[in-house]
Structure 1
Amino acid sequence: MASDDDSNDFWHETTALPFIKMLQSSGYSNEDIETHSKWYNRFIIPALGPRPQAGKKPLFDARITADGSPIELSVNFKETSNVRTVRFTIEATGPEAGTPTDPYNQEETTRLLQAMANSIPSIHLGQYKTFSHNLFLPATTAPSLLPKVLHGTPLSLTQAWVAFDLAHGGGIMAKVYFMPFLKWLHTASSSSPAMATKDLVFDIARQCNGPFGSYDHPISLLDSYLSSFPSGSFQPTVEMVAIDCIDSPSARIKCYLRTNVTTLQQAKEAMTLGGRIKTEDTEATLQLLGELWELLLRSKIGSGEDIETKSVLVEGAYCHLAVEMKPGFPGSVETKLHIPVNKVDGGLRDEVICAGLGEWFAKRGHGEFGGSYRKELKETFVNLEGTHTFVSFTYTKKTGVYMSMYYSPQTHAGLELNEVSSGANGGPIHRDVWEGYDALVRGVLHGKE
């Protein structure tokens, strides 16, 4: 919880106001906006913890975004729907986060979800309890575990993020994103050979098999893909796993892979899990991905260069692939590509991103949204530059193009707390919040921690 200082006012100004503006621009009714705003003020603002202050190092550094903001807003666009959905993700931060009592900041996530479940009947915490039981660590492990974590690696202290989809009509869906990193490190330190994060995550996911069905088949398909990479090559790593807080055959378990994708050709290969996903939608998905890639990133592809093989991301900034599995649909495996547009080689200004996305939506027959995209963002955020973080993409005949645009409200702007530099073309390059992860993985696996 925030203390008796001005934290609540700070978080309201820097996060709630953009959130409300995003609801307005996405066509929510006044009644829905009032309902969601009251819910946000009641549950979310207190869960953001103490406000950042220049010159004062926090006990716990919640960093969902590279600039330090503890919240990432997003808008979901589903082509066959006439409405857009506002969503956001936070790292709930408790009063004792970073202290010996709660060194990993695990307590506030559980408290927040339990409080919501008591007032929102649709929130179901069955899978949350399974994953948190297996991934959360006792506070007593911190003295021996944390010295093994590289300095400046916020991922190393992050155990869970909580996300919400805000429905038109007032409904709320909760999701939780778990980072298996610390539990893996704790396990790898005492195993030989070291267990991979995928093995840890898959074992827990299988515990969620039940009356609605099994995750076994999609797990086997994903495991086959991950195991196909030759020894010594860059193998995609399961860096995050997400669950839907619902009791349904459609309750997803989503594995987020850190890939080596920096080109369109590699992106297409990843989207099909190396050719393992072949559906009636596959051909159209890859064609549309290529069209989006070209419009969004064409400023980084020179005349005569091959769009398929041109690397457009800075070293160490890879696309992430979300692999979705549902127990009630065991043969269904869906993938979404998350493009880190704020880490494009040489920088990619938000004005350029807005222009590319505006043209893309207009090309798909959504000229009104495409034409207003930049204007709506400028009305939502105080500073447009550095706002976009990711753009995700997938396609099915049922939903059409399915995309989410992710944004940082830059809550730490002006506090001189973060390392931010300019790219060669004037675009922002932010410090990578995953920095140090690869080095630590190599160190543990080779006994050099």
Structure 2
Amino acid sequence: MATSHHALVNSNAETDDATFWWQTTGLPLGRLLAVSNYTEQDQQSHLTWYRRFIAPALGPRPIAGVKPRFQPCPVYDGSPCELSTNFKERSPQRTVRFTVEATGQEAGTPADLFNQDETVRLLRSMIDYLPGLDLHQFDVFSRTLFFSPEDAGALLPQVPKGTPLSQVWLAFDLHRGGTILAKVYFMPILKWIESGTPTKDLVFAAARACIRHGSYEEPVRLLDDFLVREAGAFVVEMAAIDCIDSLDARIKVYLRTNVNTLSRAKHVLTLGGRLSGVSVAKGLEALSELWPILFRLGEEVDVETVEVFPDGSYCGCAVEMKAGSMPETKLHIPVRKIVGTDAQICQSLASWFQKRGHGRFATTYRKDLAHVFPDHDLDGSRGTHTFVSFSFSERSGVYMTMYYSTRVFGACVAPDIWEGYDDLWGWKSKNLEVVHNATS
């Protein structure tokens, strides 16, 4: 049967899209693997997989002057890909990771208003390629939080203008030896607007339904008690799951917090004192050492209480849960909000790595970042660094991940897309009940 001209045009366009995403996201990923000392074989394996599966899944390439039908937002500046590198102070090796929003060609149309379909398609297409990939927890959460096209269409007029419409992001850890771990991030916000059910209750219901390797009830109950007693100071903004069939499969609950001082950071990391012990104490001690270095605080200020972000900007907290275990916590610091340039963040991080005994990493950190992103002006702007996460365990010691925007649209980006989330949480107390009644 002859192929239609229309089909050929669409096929060529999608090939051009994939080529664009490979050049703007795949090539920096390759450079990050190289400076992180992956073997040539591992680099080739991971990049072959990325080019085959990920680049084609990033959707239509941007066209100057044309507003996209759907705006992905895994990065504040609209880039569809965020790279990251993980540092463990008790390991000489660093792990490269990345986060994307898979975006279908029909995303933003009535067939897929909230861009859910491409993530499902991509995960299922990789089942035979990634040994160990398991979608049990993904299926549980997607049944709870995804919308049918009809329900999405009914909800859309009720969503406040400027609210990001993303439902799901994907992340991958690229291990040595070619192994890849997939993770999925779910945003429960639209389902909350539709149903009026608090985001924590939506996420906890899905977590309680994941019972293949035991119950998450114990960590869920502890976290819920913390949130209730904090009287609205913290809300559940996102949840993530590991796509593995294992006792070690995690459900991570991401909290929007009011943390902009070291004292508040310690409070949320211990869940208000509910987490304690030698490891927790060592982690808080290490954070106390990192804090003045990262924020470039002088001796004249009270490090515990000085506010380190502009009004409205705060740290996030991830609460990691395994079935039948006490939760662990991780602080997510939005370093792009720190006054100064990426070069100054590099300097602070290098000082910290040196202090923790990783002199070689400290010496090469800025040079490596400049190699990964040769078009980024580290001295003259900020925004390449997005977050730095911090946690501590007896096994790894200090455990940090540095996150980077690929800055697909350059340094001059549109207003911060995530401000739509900021606006939404301010809007909720006044308008949620009205919207819920209108959609009931």
- State TM-score, norm by structure 1: 0.90
Alignment-derived partner of residue 240 in structure 2: 242
Q: Read off the aligned partner of 2:180 and give its amino acid letter.
A: I
Q: Read off the aligned partner of 2:352 and give its amino acid letter.
A: W
Q: Does 1:138 align with 2:139?
A: no
Shift of 1:196: 1.3
Q: Does 1:320 align with 2:316?
A: yes
Alignment-derived partner of residue 307 in structure 1: 303
Q: Read off the aligned partner of 1:391 and give its amino acid letter.
A: V
Cα distance in 1, alignment partners of residues 430 and 104 from structure 2: 31
Shift of 1:332: 2.5
Cα distance in 1, alignment partners of residues 193 and 435 from structure 2: 13
Contact 2:238–2:253, Cα closer than 8 Å, also in 1: yes
Alignment-derived partner of residue 273 in structure 1: 271
Contact 1:65–1:433, Cα closer than 8 Å, also in 2: no
Aligned residues between the structures: 421
> Which of 321, 326, 346 in structure 2 is aligned with 1:354?
346
Q: Read off the aligned partner of 2:238 and give its amino acid letter.
A: M
Cα distance in 2, alignment partners of residues 269 and 348 from structure 1: 27
Alignment-derived partner of residue 33 in structure 2: 23
Shift of 1:302: 5.3
> Which of 418, 423, 430 in structure 2 is aligned with 1:436?
423
Cα distance in 1, alignment partners of residues 431 and 207 from structure 2: 24
Alpha-carbon displacement from aligned partner over 1:393-426 (angstroms, at most 9, x marks no partner):
0111111110000000100117x65137xxxxxx
Alpha-carbon displacement from aligned partner over 1:189-245 (angstroms, at most 9, x marks no partner):
xxxxxx2111111011000023x2210100011001001124xxx421111000000
Cα distance in 2, alignment partners of residues 448 and 103 from structure 1: 19
Instruction: Please show how residues 146-161 of structure 1 align to structure 2 within 5 Å.
Output: 146-154=156-164, 157-161=165-169
Alpha-carbon displacement from aligned partner over 1:293-352 (angstroms, at most 9, x marks no partner):
110002xx455221111111122221110000111xx233110000001123xx231111
Q: Unpaired segments of 5 or more residues in structure 2?
A: 1-9
Q: Read off the aligned partner of 1:438 and give its amino acid letter.
A: W
Q: Does 1:379 align with 2:371?
A: yes
Alignment-derived partner of residue 6 in structure 2: none
Instruction: Please show how residues 192-207 of structure 1 align to structure 2 within 5 Å.
Output: 195-207=197-209
Alignment-derived partner of residue 219 in structure 1: 220
Alignment RMSD: 1.7
Instruction: Please show how residues 105-120 of structure 1 align to structure 2 within 5 Å.
Output: 105-120=115-130
Choose between structure 1 and 2: higher helix proportion.
Answer: 2
Contact 2:14–2:60, Cα closer than 8 Å, also in 1: no
Contact 1:267–1:337, Cα closer than 8 Å, also in 2: yes
Shift of 1:446: 4.9
Q: Does 1:396 align with 2:406?
A: no
Cα distance in 2, alignment partners of residues 402 and 150 from structure 1: 37
**Alpha-carbon distance change, 363 to 200 in structure 1, aligned in 2, over 3 angstroms:** same
Shift of 1:16: 0.7
- State percent identity of aligned pairs: 50
Specify the SS of the correspondent of 2:172: strand
Q: Does 1:228 align with 2:252?
A: no
Cα distance in 2, alignment partners of residues 394 and 348 from structure 1: 24
Alignment-derived partner of residue 87 in structure 1: 97
Alignment-derived partner of residue 367 in structure 1: 359
Alignment-derived partner of residue 289 in structure 2: 291
Contact 1:296–1:357, Cα closer than 8 Å, also in 2: yes
Alpha-carbon displacement from aligned partner over 1:106-130 (angstroms, at most 9, x marks no partner):
0000000000112222100011011
Contact 1:65–1:71, Cα closer than 8 Å, also in 2: yes
Alignment-derived partner of residue 56 in structure 1: 66
